[in-house]
Amino acid sequence: MLWLLYTASKCNLACSYCGGSWKDLPPKPVYPVEVLKEYLESVDPEPVIVFYGGEPLLNPKFIMDVMDSIEAVYGIQTNATLHHLLPPKYWARFESVLISIDGPEELNDSRRGRGSYRKAVELAAKARGLGVRRVIARMAVDGRSDIYRDVKHLLSLPFTHVHWQLSVDWVPKWDVRGWAERSYLPGIKKLAEEFKDYYLRTGELLGIVPFIALLKAHKEPWDWVPCGAGRRAYSIITDGTITACPIAPYEPWAKAGKIYSKEPPQHLPFPEAPCGSCPYFRYCGGRCLYWLRERFWGERGFGEVCWVTKRFVDTFFEVLGGLADEMAELEEVREYDPTRDSTEAVP
Q: Does 19 bind ligand SF4 (CB under 6 A)?
A: no
Which CB, 178 or 303, lies closer to ligand SF4?
Answer: 303
Residue 52, CA distances (Å) to 66, 97, 188, 292 in order: 13, 11, 29, 22
Nearest to 135 by CA among 57, 214, 80, 202: 80
Among 211, 281, 297, 316, interactor with ligand SF4 by CB under 6 A: 281
Q: Kindly state the smallest distance separating residue 294's Cβ from ligand SF4, in Å.
A: 10
Residues 6+ apart with CB under 8 A from 197: none
Say how far apart CA 223 and CA 217 lie, in whole Å.
Answer: 10
Which CB, 78 or 309, lies closer to ligand SF4?
Answer: 309
Q: Does 190 bind ligand SF4 (CB under 6 A)?
A: no
Q: Kindly state the smallest distance separating residue 201's Cβ from ligand SF4, in Å.
A: 32
Q: In DSSP terms, which residues pair with 75 in a beta bridge?
A: 50, 96
Say how far apart CA 197 and CA 41 lie, in whole Å.
Answer: 46
Which CB, 205 or 284, lies closer to ligand SF4?
Answer: 284
Among 284, 320, 327, 328, interactor with ligand SF4 by CB under 6 A: 284
Q: Does 227 bind ligand SF4 (CB under 6 A)?
A: yes
Q: Does 206 bind ligand SF4 (CB under 6 A)?
A: no
Say how far apart CA 210 and CA 161 lie, in whole Å.
Answer: 10
Q: In DSSP terms, which residues pair with 2 in a beta bridge?
A: 48, 233
Which CB, 130 or 275, lies closer to ligand SF4?
Answer: 275
Q: Kindly state the smallest distance separating residue 42's Cβ from ligand SF4, in Å.
A: 24
Q: In DSSP terms, which residues pair with 98 in a beta bridge?
A: 77, 136
Residue 328 CB neighbour total at 10 angstroms: 18
Q: Does 217 bind ligand SF4 (CB under 6 A)?
A: no
Q: Does 225 bind ligand SF4 (CB under 6 A)?
A: yes
Say how far apart CA 167 and CA 174 lie, in whole Å.
Answer: 9
Q: Does 6 bind ligand SF4 (CB under 6 A)?
A: no
Which CB, 11 or 121, lies closer to ligand SF4?
Answer: 11
List residues near ligand SF4 by CB under 6 A: 225, 227, 229, 245-247, 273-275, 278, 280-281, 284, 286-291, 306, 309-310, 344
